[in-house]
Structure 1
Amino acid sequence: GEAEMSAESGRMRGHPSSSGDKKSKRKPKRKETYSVYIYKVLKQVHPDTGISSKAMSIMNSFVNDIFERLAVEASRLAQYNHRSTITSREVQTAVRLLLPGELAKHAVSEGTKAVTKYTSSK
């Protein structure tokens, strides 16, 4: 695929290449995406607007990219402090470092809200 490269893509998972058997049809590998969630958010902000599969693929790549950047930064922060756990504190700091101004402020408040909601539901 174009932009959908995953860590799993280059690796074979215990399926020996059956050269003799020409009938065996391999089930295509399932792809996990954020499409459903991107669509739900789109409908919240623009109920009458649709999205092409190309645009959805781009949005999915965007979400994966930001996730990766935040994870790497949070991991680095934990390592600097000789910690083996990424907590909400590392994630929050990563957000503050990676996102510009107002975007970081909104992201931090949404994150805090989500963590509070999760903690109270337990």
Structure 2
Amino acid sequence: MAPKAEKKPAEEKKTNVADKAPAEKKPKAGKKLPKEGGAAGDKKKKKAKKSVETYKIYIFKVLKQVHPDIGISSKAMGIMNSFINDIFEKLAQEASRLARYNKKPTITSREIQTAVRLVLPGELAKHAVSEGTKAVTKFTSS
């Protein structure tokens, strides 16, 4: 109720101001602002759609390679995506730490490989290193 009470005196003031100044200027400005705001709002809505980078597509592709007949729920997909982001962050931090220890400005495949050996346990690290080496070889050869 209070905002309505405030609006009524404001409208009365506008009529008083309209008597003193040309009435056409104020309503035109009032009409233009919402239209421009609406147009800007449409543009903002288009720009507001941020593309969120996820691993969901890749998780699904790997799942279909390993188990073609099994699906995955959206909750499970979200958990897998969080897991991959977490592992990526841990590897990046460890690789960064290794580069700093060695006073190198660049993180190379060697730092990544060492970070994988430090972060991942035993057999999993060996498989990850071999797959990573294979991927780097394939990338450099093509």
Taking structure 1 as the reference length, the TM-score comes to 0.79
Report how many residues are paired.
103
Structure of larger gyration radius = 2
- Counterpart of 1:4 in structure 2 is none
Distance 2:75 2:92 in 1: 26
Q: Which deviations, in whole Å up to 9, do the C-alpha atoms of 1:52-94 show, x marking residues without a partner?
A: 1111111100110000000000000000000010000000000
Taking structure 2 as the reference length, the TM-score comes to 0.68
Q: Secondary structure at the match of 2:87?
A: helix
- Counterpart of 1:102 in structure 2 is 123
Give 1:39 shift.
0.3
Percent of residue pairs identical: 75
- Counterpart of 1:86 in structure 2 is 107
Computed over aligned residues only, the root mean square deviation of the Cα atoms, in angstroms, reads 1.6
Within a 5 Å distance, the mapping from 1:1-122 to structure 2 comes to: 21=37, 24-25=41-42, 26=45, 27-121=48-142
Greater helix proportion: 2
Distance 2:139 2:38 in 1: 51
**Which structure carries more relative contact order (alpha carbon 8 Å, separation 6+)?**
1
Unaligned runs of 5+ in 1: 1-19
Runs of 4+ in 1 over 6 A off after TM superposition: none
